[in-house]
A and B are shown apart, each in its own frame.
Chain A
């Protein structure tokens, strides 16, 4: 059915040999953990190194709101969302993409009797979304970086 292991796929690993990740939120941390594991890219730690692709996680905003209430007016589901704003530049400094956004959300059932546990659940879901977001961001940068070059 045409599937092949990603190794041969159009965008595998990372589009540049070296990358620096800027940002101190959870998504940036996930990227810094994930990039060194990729076979063909090296994570650069020093911000001043030149000639290196740069990923900047400008903002990570989380928000938790009531999603559903039950017939006695109490919240039964909460929705936790994460909005990540990021930009990326090629090694020569030209922008791959700027001010892009990834929005993720997870709902969870809310037990008003144990608010501390609920905060714990919300934090766990945020960590999970941070991991997803880092993957989605990498894929978007790869796609635009590789296609961008083909397109020009």
Chain B
């Protein structure tokens, strides 16, 4: 309502060539009539107004304007206070031109609620008739920004393309409910794949998307995703179900992520994922990252934050999606795992202690089960000056295993107690640098890290959660080459590294970073998970890494780990990413790594670039350089996108390898209609992961 005046006492002023009537009850005006009430304006050839019920009749090309909405029609019969009435043969522009169209009749059903009969609607500007939604009945409610239509069909470039008994669609860019664009695809596994997502904005903090998805070879899959956001808890629940004609079985997935603050210190988080069969993602996933999922977690974590300590209880089971080509071991389950840690400091922060403890009940259908309890108290006394640091640290890692066979028969217990001592030290040299007039600060940071852990035979210990980690800068300065706690490497070694960084003096942002480092074993390590882990010389690989924002918007990163002993490269990666502008992205990545079994040697090229006005090219190639690989093209995608302001089109073809030894080849067509279309379910989400830095240009920006 207008400020200050309630809706009722806003004056109505009528201007015309001729007016007659009975003041103040009624008035009849003729000749270029203009009527104003607050911010509502009416223009007509003639009009009659009755004040008792604020009933306005106007005719012969009447025009009505209210807060940016413009309705033109033949005759208007309207009750101004109730905002109800009809307009015959209307032509309307709504919400500052966001939506427009015409109809046989326009019914006003309340403030900003329009009911159009036999109408058409578009969000394209006046001179652009690219698409319309036609409908027998259409309701446009600009309070909830929701449009609904029954017996509707979409006309695109004068050809009807889609009939729908009922649709609803967003009327504004705000988080809208409504009809996401239809995504059409042709896939070698599913045949024709038509998804008509339907978004429902239930409440400001709750919305849902429904995904009826039709496969010509498999039938109709019904999917739904529900998102909720409350002050103390939030989450997302998604499920899809299909009676698969081709595989003749029912297939489904369930995905539920929930996080909740039970109290301000007690927090619960759930992550439940389940699929009906191993090939679910191979068939229905929309990109390589999804298809490559092998272990689906079913996890519940209850965590408590005390003052200066915290603890958590973690139940975790995995559903393993077996791959016929490359079988995967069934992982252990945590039933549960309880961990505790605290890091009190003394002497005003000068002495830092840390106590970590963990109990885990590892269960497995066929392997050794067991209770494992370990505690690792440690104390470190860092001596820092502004140009140096020396951090001695000493701790004791004590572990107890109670082992049992899967059927429960005890297999005895094991213990392991190991002292862990380390001395980390480093200096920082700095100098000022001027490069092309900009002032930088360059640092030179030598660092030495000595670690001593005595040897203890751990070959009889089970392996629940340990794995050899890659040799990297962060791993070089850690206490254990193995993650987890089943293997603690014996160590009498020193790691030295020299790092130089260049910072912008004004902002302190790191522009370049170069490092060279190596570890020297005074005694060669003997603890291993499998003997090939052990270094074959007294020196580790040499690590060299170099990178940063070489020039504005061009980021480069190079890293190599080179074995000086047998002159081989263990790991080598090179990244280049150039993002000069929005929707202008080129990424190049080369990776050679022997840390994975079998080794990988790949090139990954991806990019998005404008081709011509409104057209953008998108591409992604992940190519394996290993000649013996069965599939050399691991993930390729090529496509074009067109943004015409009030509609957008995406055409893309994608092929990626799947875990069942096959591939998934898909051709996408995605049509987005103005404010109507949010983002299609694919291929845009596929693009976002395939092309780092990708920006979606076909949002509903109206030119």
Contact = CB atoms under 8 A, between A and B. Distances in A.
Binding between chains A and B: yes
Interface of A: 1-13, 24, 29, 33, 35-40, 43, 65-66, 68-77, 106-118, 120-121, 124-125, 128, 136, 139-144, 147, 151
A119 to B, nearest CB: 9
B173 interface: no
Contact of B483 (A2, A7, A70, A120): A120
B295 A7 contact: no
Interface stretch (B122-130, B131-139, B385-393): B385-393
Contacts of A136: 508, 510
A76 B596 contact: yes
Given A1-B431, A6-B387, 10 more contacts: A7-B387, A37-B350, A69-B657, A74-B292, A74-B328, A109-B596, A114-B329, A115-B295, A116-B334, A140-B507
A7 B427 CA distance: 10
A117 B509 contact: no
Given A3-B429, A72-B326, A109 B593 contact: yes
Contact of B444 (A3, A112, A139): A3
Contacts of A24: 305
Nearest to B509: A140
B508 A141 contact: yes
Contacts of A39: 384-386
Contacts of A4: 429-431
B305 A70 contact: no
B429 A38 contact: no
Interface residues of B, number: 88
Interface string B604-634: 1000000000000000001010100111101
Nearest to B296: A115
B443 interface: yes
Interface stretch (B163-171, B467-475, B695-703): B467-475
Contacts of A75: 289, 292-294
A3 B604 CA distance: 39
Contact of B352 (A9, A33, A106): A33
B329 A113 contact: yes
B8 interface: no
A143 B350 contact: no
A128 B473 CA distance: 10
Contact of B430 (A3, A35, A108, A109): A3
20 contacts: A2-B431, A3-B442, A5-B388, A5-B428, A6-B430, A33-B352, A38-B386, A39-B384, A43-B349, A68-B604, A69-B657, A73-B282, A73-B291, A77-B593, A108-B472, A109-B593, A110-B596, A115-B331, A116-B484, A144-B506
Contact of B429 (A5, A10, A29, A128): A5
Given A10-B505, A74-B294, A65 B629 contact: no
Contacts of B635: 69
A28 to B, nearest CB: 12
A112 B580 CA distance: 37
A68 B467 contact: no
A54 to B, nearest CB: 18
Contact of B323 (A12, A73, A114, A128): A73
A124 B331 contact: no
Given A112-B294, A121-B469, A142-B508, A6 B622 contact: no
Interface string B290-322: 011111010000000100000000001010000
Nearest to B602: A68
A74 B474 contact: no
B289 A66 contact: yes
Contacts of A144: 506-508
Contact of A116 (B316, B388, B632): B316
B345 A33 contact: yes
B598 interface: yes
Nearest to B327: A113
B363 interface: no
A113 B331 contact: yes
Nearest to B432: A10
Nearest to A10: B441
A115 B624 CA distance: 25
B503 A139 contact: yes
A71 B331 contact: no
B600 interface: yes
B323 A74 contact: yes
Given A5-B429, A36-B349, A143-B505, A117 B466 contact: yes
Interface string B407-449: 0000000000000000000011111100000000111100000
B656 A73 contact: yes
B288 A66 contact: yes
Nearest to B354: A33
A24 B304 CA distance: 13
Interface string B493-524: 00000000001111111100000000000000
Interface in B441-467: 441-444, 464-467
Interface string B659-682: 111000000000000000000000
Contacts of A114: 329, 331, 465-467
Nearest to A110: B596
B369 interface: no
Name the residue in B345, B430, B597, B634 with the highest tally of chain A Cβ atoms < 10 Å from its Cβ.
Answer: B430
B153 to A, nearest CB: 40
B591 A72 contact: no
Interface string B352-396: 100000000000000000000000000000101111110000000
B600 A68 contact: yes
Given A68-B591, A73-B657, A112-B294, A5 B387 contact: yes
Contacts of A139: 503, 508, 510
A108 B470 contact: yes
A13 B508 contact: no
Name the residue in B282, B470, B635 with the highest tally of chain A Cβ atoms < 10 Å from its Cβ.
Answer: B470
- List the 8 shortest-distance A-B pairs measured between CB atoms, nearest first: A143-B508, A36-B349, A12-B386, A140-B508, A117-B467, A5-B387, A9-B430, A3-B429
A7 B591 CA distance: 40
A7 B349 contact: no
Given A9-B441, A116-B464, A74 B483 contact: no
B343 interface: yes
Contacts of B431: 1-4
Nearest to A109: B595
B621 to A, nearest CB: 13
Given A66-B289, A73-B656, A117-B466, A6 B295 contact: no
A72 B325 contact: yes
A66 B659 CA distance: 14
